[in-house]
Copies of this chain bind each other. A is one copy, B any other.
């Protein structure tokens, strides 16, 4: 009997085997998906399955985003697409940004890992260590904490200067790397739009894996992010730029994913 493979080990093995750091974010938006899906019984599921079919050998992980399914009242589609990714051997990050007091976080951990079957989940650290514990104690699962998010308004709190001299996101990285990562299953979200902060996170948190959303539609800088993130794990996520390329051709999604994977690899050196 071997121990279950942890999320970060599984991602790392796949990144090496397939030579890719790319994560495709599954953010289905019925106002953007090609018209041909609108006549199917389950447009969101059909669209996501086609995206997964077209890109799974180019990615280390998929990242379905909860709200996009919830707003369309399509959580059954979310459940099925996660199961489908896992059948294909691809680890899944449920991007849900959960977080609540401990007794309730236990239910959120069950939601992510048991109801939806995700391998990892994004979690908001604002409620502190005891709110994270129900996620963290699932040692084979990945717990990816928001540190410096990709949006401009992220600076409102995350870049606040503390009396200690740190900025808030630096303190989160510090807590994550020390107090919270006792089981080795913690990662950090740092926007691909924020290479300066990624460099600081790398200095503080060492080789801890960072999930970088925001390349493509949000304008994240691939070259600067790869340079800043050297020395540790990286999962580089693109959603809209891969899902909604300018062309509706069946091959356009794969072409966009392939180009993004290659772009990342070019700067990886």
Contact = CB atoms under 8 A, between A and B. Distances in A.
13 contacts: A67-B108, A97-B98, A124-B127, A125-B156, A127-B146, A127-B149, A127-B157, A128-B151, A128-B155, A131-B153, A131-B154, A162-B162, A163-B165
Number of copies: 2
A187 interface: no
Interface in A89-126: 97-102, 104-105, 107-108, 110-111, 114-115, 124-126
A160 B155 contact: no
A71 B128 contact: no
Nearest to A166: B160
A106 to B, nearest CB: 8
Contacts of A155: 128
A97 to B, nearest CB: 5
Contacts of A153: 102, 127-132
B100 A67 contact: yes
Given A70-B111, A108-B70, A157 B130 contact: no
Contact of A108 (B71, B75, B114): B71
Given A65-B104, A99-B124, A127-B146, 6 more contacts: A65-B100, A67-B100, A67-B104, A71-B115, A102-B151, A126-B157
A158 interface: yes
Interface residues of A, number: 53
Contacts of A128: 149, 151-158
Contacts of A249: none
Interface in A159-176: 160-165, 168, 171-172, 175
B127 A125 contact: no
Interface string A17-40: 000000000010000000000000
Contact of A126 (B105, B108, B146, B165): B146
Contacts of A152: 128, 130
Contact of A129 (B98, B108, B156, B168): B156
Interface string A46-90: 000000000000000000010110110101000000000000000
